[in-house]
């Protein structure tokens, strides 16, 4: 069980309330550089779907993030705050609780990705390994 207590508000969120919703997804989902670049490109035009308010990370906000990830797969979340470490802790907590992969953070915005458990909309590029001795030029 993972608990997160917001330092200024005393809110505690436990992982157990959201655990087990997506059995097909493993927490070991790692995106390679090419896949992250593709997702950053797709997320560029998106607006933040979820905005954390003055009460911070609440059950209602987590439920909204869960719903948005299920519907859209790729979302932006705005995390206000003055302290960089607080923002990082909140973003990591969101990522762990929702089993989403953190694609990128820029300022107050975090981009999260979690494929739909039944019908993924986004098709990620496959990881390719270059053959030894090939410089990428055709002969």
- In order of their start, the domains of the chain are 31-113 (3.30.110.60)
pTM: 0.72
Token pair of 7 as six digits: 């330092």
Q: Which helix (H) or strand (E) holds 27?
A: none
47-60 confidence digits (pLDDT tens): 999 999 888 899 99
Distance CA 97, CA 65 (A): 10
pLDDT per residue over 108-128, tens digit each? Answer: 999 999 998 888 888 888 866
Q: Are 104 and 91 in contact (CB under 8 A)?
A: no
């Amino acid at each position: 069980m993972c608990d997160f207590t917001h330092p200024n508000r005393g809110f505690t969120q436990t992982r157990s309330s959201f655990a087990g919703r997506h059995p097909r997804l493993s927490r070991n989902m790692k995106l390679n550089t090419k896949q992250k670049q593709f997702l950053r490109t797709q997320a560029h035009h998106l607006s933040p779907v979820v905005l954390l308010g003055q009460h911070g990370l609440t059950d209602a906000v987590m439920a909204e993030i869960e719903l948005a990830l299920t519907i859209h797969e790729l979302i932006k979340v705005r995390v206000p705050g003055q302290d960089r470490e607080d923002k990082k802790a909140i973003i990591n907590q969101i990522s762990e609780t929702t089993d989403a992969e953190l694609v990128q953070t820029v300022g107050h915005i975090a981009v999260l990705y979690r494929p739909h458990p039944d019908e993924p909309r986004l098709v990620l590029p496959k990881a390719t390994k270059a053959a030894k001795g090939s410089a990428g030029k055709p002969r």
